């Protein structure tokens, strides 16, 4: 079996589901694939000792010890955006390349954000529940139009921009805040940047698309709620801890926030990568249901919660596999892509 620079390679995948195996086999025809149940660890590494590449997810930590058990390996293809489970220095020392999946779900998460907005504006869960019980009365089901309203986008990165495009399709006014404003993009998409406080003051709907870092933790807290327009709708599909839950409950109570649509909650177990949520290893260590059940927000009549499901579309998951397959094919074709 050949290695770098030629078309054919021996590749061992860990942490894959059945459908992903079939998909990868189709995408990587011409290579010799092997699939091992579970993660890549000291014990299972021997199964990949003759492999030219390994495909892993974040539950397979790669360090010098593991690498020493993979003497033929030239490439680690992680099927994740994050790569802090991989010791890059140790890889470099052994001449092992590492590639990742830089993005896969920006439209997917944006669509979910809009699903939450529309669920709220048109009272979809309440309407569907009522119709299911054979009750077709309309009392209490009047919604509101999005057209002409102002949406405030916090974070105009990959996902935020998709939300902006969708909002423009609904003829909403878009105001945005970002630490690194892209004025050219704003002109092209037809939105304006404003200060954080001005965005809070002007927006009827606020949608969060910021990373969770020390400076953004609780960015939506009591002070921010104090500046919001009365009756504002808050949407969070980014990270739970961007919002101070206690302050949100108070803002719901005093009417500052009329409705909240949340795909993420502050008390979630620490999630680095969305796809963790589909992994059995994650389910064993974190009981999301219990966390959610204990949460006051879950039963709030003006809050819609989805279980961190925004990333979870067939297409988004296939994009992870497509990029991984391209990473591997390109590398063994002599042109590394998405190297980290």
**Closer to ligand NAD by Cβ: residue 308 or 319:** 308
- Each residue 159-198 as x (binds ligand NAD by CB under 6 A) or -, in order, gives xx-----------------xxx------------------
**Of 274, 199, 284, nearest to 239 (Cα)?**
274
Q: Which residue is nearest to ligand NAD (CB)?
A: 157
- Angstrom CA distances, 53 to 38, 92, 124, 163, 218, stand at 17, 15, 47, 37, 41
Q: Which of 71, 125, 211, 255 binds ligand NAD (CB under 6 A)?
A: 211
**Closer to ligand NAD by Cβ: residue 311 or 332:** 311
Site for ligand NAD in 86-115 (CB under 6 A): 105-106, 109
Angle between helices 18-27 and 314-332 (to 10 degrees): 40
Residue with tokens 């490439």: 75
In a 13 Å sphere around the CA of 237, the CA atoms on its Cβ side amount to 27
**Of 106, 163, 162, nearest to 320 (Cα)?**
106
Q: Which of 73, 153, 238, 305 binds ligand NAD (CB under 6 A)?
A: 238
Q: Which of 100, 237, 323, 324 binds ligand NAD (CB under 6 A)?
A: 237
Judged by CB under 6 A, does residue 152 bind ligand NAD?
Answer: no
**Of 96, 33, 6, nearest to 321 (Cα)?**
33
The answer to whether the CB of 199 falls within 8 A of the CB of 177 is yes
Q: Which of 121, 173, 216, 326 binds ligand NAD (CB under 6 A)?
A: 216
CA gyration radius, the chain: 23
**Of 78, 80, 77, nearest to 103 (Cα)?**
80
* Residue range at the interface with ligand NAD (CB under 6 A); choices 12-20, 68-76, 89-97, 156-164: 156-164
Q: Which of 123, 229, 308, 319 binds ligand NAD (CB under 6 A)?
A: 308
The residues binding ligand NAD (CB under 6 A) are 105-106, 109, 155-160, 178-180, 209-212, 215-216, 237-239, 263-264, 274, 308, 310-311
Show which residues are catalytic.
239, 268, 308
């Amino acid at each position: 079996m050949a290695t770098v620079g030629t078309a054919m390679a021996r590749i061992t995948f860990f942490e894959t589901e059945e459908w992903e195996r079939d998909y990868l086999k189709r995408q990587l025809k011409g290579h010799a694939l092997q699939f091992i149940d579970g993660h890549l660890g000291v014990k299972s590494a021997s199964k990949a000792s003759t492999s030219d590449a390994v495909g892993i997810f974040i539950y397979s930590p790669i360090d010098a010890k593991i690498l020493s058990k993979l003497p033929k390996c030239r490439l680690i293809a992680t099927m994740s955006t994050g790569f802090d489970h991989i010791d890059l220095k140790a890889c470099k020392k052994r001449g092992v390349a590492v590639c990742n999946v830089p993005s896969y779900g920006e439209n997917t998460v944006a669509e979910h954000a809009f699903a939450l907005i529309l669920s709220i504006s048109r009272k979809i869960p309440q309407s569907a529940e009522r119709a299911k019980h054979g009750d077709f009365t309309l009392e209490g089901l009047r919604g509101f139009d999005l057209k002409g309203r102002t949406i405030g986008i916090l974070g105009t990165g990959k996902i935020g921009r998709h939300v902006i495009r969708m909002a423009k399709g609904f003829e909403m006014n878009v105001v945005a805040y970002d630490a690194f404003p892209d004025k050219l993009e704003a002109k092209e998409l037809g939105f304006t940047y404003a200060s954080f406080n001005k965005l809070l003051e002007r927006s009827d709907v606020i949608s969060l698309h910021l990373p969770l870092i020390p400076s953004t933790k609780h960015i939506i807290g009591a002070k921010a709620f104090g500046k919001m327009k009365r009756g504002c709708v808050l949407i969070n599909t980014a990270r739970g801890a961007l919002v101070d839950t206690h302050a949100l409950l108070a803002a719901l109570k005093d009417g500052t926030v009329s409705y909240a649509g949340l795909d993420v909650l502050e008390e979630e177990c620490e999630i680095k990568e969305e796809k963790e949520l589909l992994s059995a290893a994650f389910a064993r260590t974190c009981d999301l249901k219990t966390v959610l059940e204990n949460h006051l927000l879950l039963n709030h009549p003006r809050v819609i919660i989805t279980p961190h499901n925004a990333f979870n579309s067939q297409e988004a998951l296939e994009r992870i596999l497509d990029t991984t397959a391209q990473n591997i094919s390109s590398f063994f074709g002599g042109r590394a892509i998405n190297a980290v």
